[in-house]
Structure 1
Amino acid sequence: MAAINGLAYEDEESSSEGIKIQPLSSATMPEQWKDDAGKNRTPLTFRDRLGIDDFYDLNVWRASIGEIFGTAVLVFAVDTIVISSVQTDTKTPNVLLSILVAIIVTILLLAIHPVSGGHINPIVSFSAGLVGLISMSRAAIYIAAQCIGAVLGALALKAVVSSSIENTFSLGGCTVTVVTPGPDGPITIGLETGQAFWLEVICSFVFLVASIWMAYDKRQKKELGQVIVFAIVGTVLGLLVFISTTVTAQKGYAGAGINPARCLGPAIVRGGHLWNSHWIYWVGPGISCVAFYIYTKIIPREHFQPADLQRHDFYNVVKAF
């Protein structure tokens, strides 16, 4: 609510003593190699690669507190925005919803990034673990913290809204279908499971490639600036919410979740139909994370360098004749 090609995501892990992010490479590392200081280093064990020691690192657990509170605020704010946007008199509440989501996500990323890296989304933590920017152990801790935070955020929203609003809007949770009164009895309205699933896969993948990629890329963060990068992340997320709700235009479907924890919180607190097809909000993004990892392994490790640009410059090509 956050590849690599030798680049590091500048969170607290990349600056921790004794922890260095390994560049992505399909090549097998030799038994011994030298680091930048020229010192011999021993190969990483399976335990090291999983980052098991993170479970015993107090700093990792302290960082996870940032994920708890960041996700709690995200769920409370976004679900409140969902309810208030639908209640407005505007004919296009999804436009207002998208703009407000982009703003709140940007603000939260700036606030939580110094604490934990500003993931506040299991998709970000899982993909960061896959590509090696953080250990899978840290990713698991963060995802658990995000789920706890989502429940806290949903509980906070439940405490401040009336029962009628809670029932009408399902605490702003993620829904594929809902049951409503019909002329001949209750009817189910919403989106087909297959459509909702593929929307979740596609939107999550676009989110990772179009925005989180820049947060992972140290060069782009340096060139664009942290504020701009996080603003782009929030904007892309807002656009995906707008697209998923506009292209379907189905009442009962709340749009792509793109954040499994945000969908989980209201489902646990509210229950009922929020559990219907809830697996979509986990399986879909999970597939997208794996696809994103494969994407990072396929693309070139480096962009074109100035020497390459000079070599292929059109004027220089003409001169070669």
Structure 2
Amino acid sequence: MENKEEDVRVGANKFHEHQPIGTAAQSQDKDYKEPPPAPFIDAAEFASWSFYRAGIAEFIATFLFLYITVLTVMGVSKSDSKCATVGIQGIAWAFGGMIFALVYCTAGISGGHINPAVTFGLFLARKLSLNRAVFYMVMQCLGAICGAGVVKGFGKSLYMAKGGGANVVAHGYTKGSGLGAEIVGTFVLVYTVFSATDAKRSARDSHVPILAPLPIGFAVFLVHLATIPITGTGINPARSLGAAIIYNKSHAWDDHWVFWVGPFIGAALAALYHQVVIRAIPFKSK
């Protein structure tokens, strides 16, 4: 126990944050390696099997994500008594739990994005190239469409009668409220992604063991608990698009822009906050 306490003391005090404003938050003698920025466009990736393998992994992961989560939503929607189902808490657990499992499975192949907003945020932080980001987003959307399509195939009449898991701004809330909920919810998710995968964590917080997919999945769970009553919780444009295309009713498209604009703004703000404020990476160390 004494050694543990010493590890905590060293981990908390080893790095000092007393640099003047405008200088990097990390010291020159850091004991971790910061990955170099990804090129804006990397044409060499098109000749690499790992590039296409990563895209396939994103497709399958998003397919499975929509399959499990929309099927859970349908199970809750079809029952007259929510007490006989997993309820809203169960839906939130389905979304968070699947993200935890799928990020764990695909992180070593594609990074485990499973969400165009996450991909967009990481692209802004120069964690991946533009061509890889676009490829991921396309594969994520295709996977989402296929996942929702399989759920509809289980029971078309039920699927159409119960909303198909499509995201809409709930009655009693304005589109502005829905947009705000999507911005803040996505900020929470993408900021958690940045924090959980930060290279600096392995050095400074080595005394706090953490499995990155766990806080990411838990963030998704918590955001769903908060915003399901407002928007059904999008925070993932591919998830919203897949359900909207398969459901394909006019009211699902009326608010659809909210589930793209909100997540992309939230992701951009999270990238800006983490890179500029938390890490101060754009500034040079003195």
TM-score range, shorter-chain basis? Answer: 0.7 to 0.9
Give runs of aligned pairs for residues 27-176 of structure 1, distance below 5 A.
48-86=39-77, 87=79, 89-90=82-83, 93-160=87-154, 162-176=155-169
Paired position in structure 2 for 1:215: 196
1:258/1:5 CA distance change after superposition, 3 Å:
farther
User: 3-state DSSP class of the match of 2:234?
Assistant: coil
Deviation at 1:5, TM superposition (A): 7.7
Name the TM-score, length of structure 2 as normaliser: 0.76
Paired position in structure 2 for 1:283: 261
Deviation at 1:166, TM superposition (A): 0.8
Deviation at 1:233, TM superposition (A): 0.8
Worse-matched range after superposition: 102-111 or 146-155: 102-111
Residues 1:269 and 2:263 aligned together: no
Once residues 214 and 208 of structure 1 are traced to their aligned partners in structure 2, the CA distance between those partners, rounded to angstroms, is 9
Once residues 283 and 58 of structure 1 are traced to their aligned partners in structure 2, the CA distance between those partners, rounded to angstroms, is 32
| CA deviation vs aligned residue, 1:166-202 (integer Å, no higher than 9, x gap) | 122222121225xxxxxxxxxxx45321111111111
Aligned-pair RMSD on alpha carbons? 2.7
Paired position in structure 1 for 2:177: 195
Conserved? CA contact 1:81–1:101, under 8 Å? no
**4+ residue stretches of structure 1 with deviation over 6 A?**
none
Aligned AA for 1:140?
A: V
The unaligned stretches of length 5 or more in structure 2 are 1-23, 27-33, 281-286
Conserved? CA contact 1:68–1:146, under 8 Å? yes
Conserved? CA contact 1:55–1:138, under 8 Å? no
Deviation at 1:300, TM superposition (A): 4.7
Q: Aligned pairs, how many?
A: 244
1:221/1:267 CA distance change after superposition, 3 Å:
farther
Residues 1:235 and 2:211 aligned together: no
Deviation at 1:221, TM superposition (A): 5.8
| CA deviation vs aligned residue, 1:246-302 (integer Å, no higher than 9, x gap) | 5x4xxxx42x20100001011112211221210111111111222122213422538
Deviation at 1:229, TM superposition (A): 2.2
User: 3-state DSSP class of the match of 1:49?
Assistant: coil
| CA deviation vs aligned residue, 1:138-186 (integer Å, no higher than 9, x gap) | 11110111011011101111111x2332122222121225xxxxxxxxx
The unaligned stretches of length 5 or more in structure 1 are 7-19, 24-43, 178-188, 303-321
Aligned AA for 2:161?
A: T
Once residues 245 and 146 of structure 1 are traced to their aligned partners in structure 2, the CA distance between those partners, rounded to angstroms, is 22
Choose between structure 1 and 2 for higher RCO, CA contacts under 8 A separated by at least 6 residues: 2
Paired position in structure 1 for 2:21: none
Deviation at 1:56, TM superposition (A): 3.8
